[in-house]
């Protein structure tokens, strides 16, 4: 009996020590470098924002926060790498709208966006601008819609591939307006801009970060923006709602995730610190300059948003919108 009691006591002590060690590890988080995996190439809107946040977190935490770009398979390669990492908070995923579209357009057998991650924060959406080539005669969104309805498939629209923000925004635009345009995917944004400038490709939805210099220089003609209200960045451009097109929210969004099983205490700490970062005055200045719309809020806001987005794109796919 004494041996059994001693054994039970030893087990209880080891469990208690394990719990205390785990709690201490969470309290000390982070005590070594943290990696943020972004599933896209450098210099895009999500990469720029991710690096801004990483720099702020490095200063706040006193630890190196490293951005690792893992592009490929429409975002699935980077997301899978993050999902399969140890659930200890030292590998995070800064994910984008592909997490909500790939279950329909390019499902992965390695991870599930809902069940393989712990949501941390819906950080931002990105201002999307609907523009046309200067070579076209269109001076309003209505003129584009009228021509597209009268000439199905005659207008070309640019994107940097299936599932990209430009592709998704245009798919939604065509569904809402009852139009049909021809998708022209490009491997690089520079190629797309070259064809837009020449008028070879007539229509493009793109995020503000890369397009603003071309708008200011008059190389393209902006007609409307996505989102709930006008942007101080381009206050002269009306919203889609103002011109009679109910597209509701932006298609581009960015959120932080951790591998499933990451302790709640760590998730909550990262969430609080991310909120502090996006509330910083200089980050609010960058929000305006780059065309982001910071959102923030608790983890369950991202969880709910992700599920809603997955359902939205799945419904559009069932209607044949991606053909």
Domain range summary for the chain, segments of one domain joined by +? 32-126+251-318, 128-225
Report the relative pairing of strands 65-69 and 34-38 from DSSP bridges: parallel
The whole-angstrom separation of Cα 81 and Cα 221 is: 40
pTM comes to 0.85
198, 135 in Cβ contact below 8 A?
A: yes
Backbone angles phi, psi at 308, to 5 degrees: -65, -40
236 to 75, 145, 222, 285, 294: CA distances (angstroms): 34, 21, 10, 19, 21
DSSP state of 86: -
Q: Are 50 and 123 in contact (CB under 8 A)?
A: no
Could you give the CA distance from residue 87 to residue 259 in angstroms, rounded to a whole number? 5
Q: Do the domains 128-225 and 32-126+251-318 match in fold? A: yes
The per-residue DSSP string of 243-259 comes to TT----S-S-EEEEEEE
CA distances from 219 to 127, 155, 197, 198 (A): 19, 19, 6, 9
The matching CATH number, chosen from 3.40.47.10, 1.20.1530.20, 3.40.50.620, 3.40.190.150, for 32-126+251-318 is 3.40.190.150
Residue in 206, 113, 117 with CA at minimum distance from that of residue 158: 206
Nearest-5° angle of CA 196, CA 201, CA 203? 80
Omega cis (within 30) before 30: yes
The answer to whether the beta carbons of residues 301 and 122 sit under 8 Å apart is yes
Pairing of strands 156-159, 203-207: parallel
How many CB atoms neighbour CB 19 within 10 A? 10
Which residues is 67 bridged to in the sheet?
A: 36
Strand order in the sheet with 292-294: 65-69, 34-38, 91-96, 253-259, 117-126, 292-294
* Alpha-carbon gap, residue 243 to 240, rounded angstroms: 5
Distance (Å, whole) CA 66 – CA 78: 14
CA 285 to chain centre: 20
The pair of structure tokens assigned to 221 is 């003609």
Assigned fold of 128-225: D-Maltodextrin-Binding Protein; domain 2 (3.40.190)
- What is the structure's pLDDT at 13? 57
What pLDDT tens digit does each residue of the chain (323 aa) get?
A: 455 666 666 555 555 554 444 455 567 999 999 999 999 888 788 999 999 999 999 999 999 999 999 998 889 999 999 999 999 999 999 999 999 999 998 999 999 999 999 999 999 998 899 999 999 999 999 999 999 999 999 999 998 887 888 888 999 999 999 999 999 998 777 888 899 999 999 999 988 877 888 888 899 999 999 888 888 888 999 999 999 999 876 678 999 999 999 999 999 999 999 999 999 999 999 998 888 999 999 999 999 999 999 999 999 888 888 87
- Judge whether 226 and 235 are in contact, CB under 8 Å: no
């Amino acid at each position: 009996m004494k041996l059994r009691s001693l054994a039970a006591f030893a087990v209880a002590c080891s469990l208690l020590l394990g719990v205390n060690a785990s709690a201490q590890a969470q309290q000390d988080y982070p005590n070594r470098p943290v990696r943020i995996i972004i599933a896209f190439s450098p210099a895009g809107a999500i990469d720029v924002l991710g690096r801004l946040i990483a720099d702020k977190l490095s200063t706040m935490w006193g630890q190196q926060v490293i951005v690792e770009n893992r592009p490929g398979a429409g975002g699935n390669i980077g997301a899978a790498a993050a999902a399969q990492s140890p659930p200890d908070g030292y590998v995070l995923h800064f994910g984008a709208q592909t997490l909500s579209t790939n279950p329909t357009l390019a499902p992965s057998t390695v991870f599930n966006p809902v069940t393989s991650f712990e949501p941390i924060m819906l950080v931002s959406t990105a201002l999307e601008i609907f523009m046309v080539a200067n070579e076209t005669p269109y001076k309003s969104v209505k003129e584009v819609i009228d021509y597209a309805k009268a000439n199905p498939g005659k207008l070309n629209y640019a994107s940097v591939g299936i599932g990209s923000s430009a592709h998704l925004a245009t798919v939604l635009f065509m569904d809402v307006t009852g139009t049909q345009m021809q998708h022209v995917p490009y491997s690089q944004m520079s190629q797309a801009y070259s064809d837009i400038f020449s008028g070879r490709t007539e229509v493009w939805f793109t995020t503000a970060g890369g397009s603003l210099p071309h708008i200011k220089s008059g190389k393209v003609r902006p007609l409307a923006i996505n989102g709930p209200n006008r942007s101080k960045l381009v206050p002269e451009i009306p919203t889609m709602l103002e011109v009679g097109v109910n597209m509701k929210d932006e298609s581009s969004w960015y959120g932080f995730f951790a591998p499933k099983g990451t302790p709640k205490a760590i998730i909550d700490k990262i969430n609080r610190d991310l909120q502090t970062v996006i509330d910083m005055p200089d980050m609010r200045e960058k929000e305006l300059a780059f065309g982001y719309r910071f959102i923030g809020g608790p983890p369950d806001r991202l969880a709910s948003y992700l599920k809603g987005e997955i359902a939205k794109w799945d419904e559009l796919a069932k209607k044949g919108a991606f053909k």
